[in-house]
Amino acid sequence: MIERVGPRTLETLDAGAGAFRTAQPYPHVVLEDFLRPEAADTLLAEFEATRDGWTFLHHVNEKKRQFTKLERLGPTTRAIVAELQSPEFIAHIETLTGISGLVADPDLDGSGLHEIKRGGHLNMHVDFLSHVVKRHWSRRLNLLIYLNKGWREEYNGHLEMWSRDMQRCEKKVLPVFNRCLIFQTSEISWHGHPTPLACPPETSRKSLALYYYRDEGHTVSLASTDYRAVPTDSLKKRALIALDRWALRVYSLLKRYVGLRDRVVSAILKRF
């Protein structure tokens, strides 16, 4: 039973197919008051109480940390994740998107809790389009719930959505509290927040991320996260982004075929 999602959210999902599929620069929807107020407040409280077990992702293209250990999340957080991964909720987002056969990732690989602090960033990119471990899964949707009370425009951190040719930003989504962004992942779903955060030191950009896949019934070619420079980036920055993209490709290959895990790389990256 879906109990923690806002009362109008499911109605909006069921009625929003046309708007979602024609949205530019690629299919998406922005939902306000996504969770019931008490659920959103508790989710934030449990987020802030999460201490040990974070994975640090500090490199050229991003500076953030994530928490993917489902069994160590707070009880309300686990319940929210369970609802959003349930067949009942998935049926609603299949109606919204027109994508059938969606499945949720119980291991939260790359998803879960995300936090970016002052000075952090996430360069423009297209997400990895195939699950690194579950080789038959192609990635189809992202669902992001923002958990930032009192977030201001001047803090930056807008989720920028760029044109397919990566020449211009076509939409910005401010990551305010209990706002949800659902968007289709594909070769043209360029997004990120490349401008470093300018929030106060005691503040951070928090979100709960969930990814949805489809089992294609055959091995899907490995497609790691594809980072790109924006037109105003310097030649030096462009070179660093490209080099980092190559390193990520190597890491993805090692993760799929050798079994390298995020915690190993995190132990190194958190020192920088």
End-to-end C-alpha distance for the chain, whole angstroms: 44
pLDDT, residue 255, reads: 66
Residue 43 lies in a domain: yes
Between 198 and 252, whose confidence is greater?
Answer: 198
List, for residues 4-46, the tens digit of each pLDDT value.
Answer: 999 899 999 999 999 999 999 999 999 999 999 999 999 999 9
Amino acid identity for residue 84 in this structure: L
Per the structure, the count of domains in the chain is: 1
pLDDT, residue 266, reads: 42
pLDDT, residue 222, reads: 79
213 burial type by CB count under 10 A (0-12 exposed, 13-18 middle, 19+ buried): buried
Print the domain residue range for 109.
9-269
CATH code (residue 181): 2.60.120.620
pLDDT, residue 268, reads: 42
DSSP string spanning 45-95? HHHHH--S-PEEEEETTEEEEEE--GGGS-HHHHHHHHHHTSHHHHHHHHH
Residue 216 lies in a domain: yes
Provide the 8-state DSSP code for 220: P
